[in-house]
Amino acid sequence: MEDDNELAFEIVSGLRQAGFAVDLAVDAGSADLNLSTYTYDCVVLDRGLPDGEGLALLRGWRERGERVPVLVLTAMDSVDERVAGFHHGADDYVGKPFAMAELVARVGALCRRLEQPRPTTIRFDDVEIDVPRRRVFRGGVLLSLTTKEFAVLELLASRRGSVVSRSELIEHCWDEMAQPMSNVVDAVIAQLRRKLGPPPLIATVRGVGFLISETA
**What pLDDT, in 10s, does the model give residues 187-196?**
999 999 999 9
The one-letter amino acid code at 116 reads: Q
74-117 per-position pLDDT tens digit: 999 899 999 999 999 999 999 998 999 999 999 998 988 766 55
Which of 6-20, 116-130, 142-156, 170-184 shows the lowest per-residue confidence on average (mean pLDDT)?
Answer: 170-184
Q: Rounded to whole angstroms, how far apart are CA atoms 140 and 195?
A: 14
**110 and 136, same domain (yes or no):** no
**Range(s) of the domain holding residue 151:** 121-212
Same-domain check for residues 103 and 9: yes
| pLDDT > 70 fraction of the chain, expressed in percent and rounded | 93
Can you say how many angstroms the Cα of residue 74 is from the centroid of all Cα atoms in its chain? 21
pTM over 0.85: no
The dihedrals phi and psi of 57, each to the nearest 5 degrees, come to -65, -45
For residues 155-176, give the mean pLDDT. Answer: 85
Give the list of residues 6+ apart from residue 67 with CB closer than 8 angstroms, or none: 114
Contact 123, 117 (CB under 8 A): no
Q: Are residues 180 and 108 in the same domain?
A: no
User: What distance in Å separates the CA atoms of residue 100 and residue 7, rounded to the nearest whole number?
Assistant: 11
DSSP category for residue 112: G
Structural domain count of the chain: 2
| Residues 11 and 106 grouped into a single domain | yes
Residue 132 sits in a domain whose CATH number is 1.10.10.10
Say yes or no: 135 and 86 in one domain: no
DSSP string, 113-131: GGSPP--SEEEETTEEEET
Q: Indicate whether 150 and 107 sit together in one domain.
A: no
Residue 181's pLDDT band, with cuts at 50, 70 and 90, is: low
CATH code for position 30: 3.40.50.2300
Contact 91, 69 (CB under 8 A): yes
My answer on whether 88 and 146 are in the same domain is no
* Contacting residues for 59 by C-beta, under 8 A, at least 6 apart: 88, 89
Across the chain, mean pLDDT equals 88
If 0-12 CB within 10 Å is exposed, 13-18 middle and 19+ buried, where does residue 74 land?
A: buried
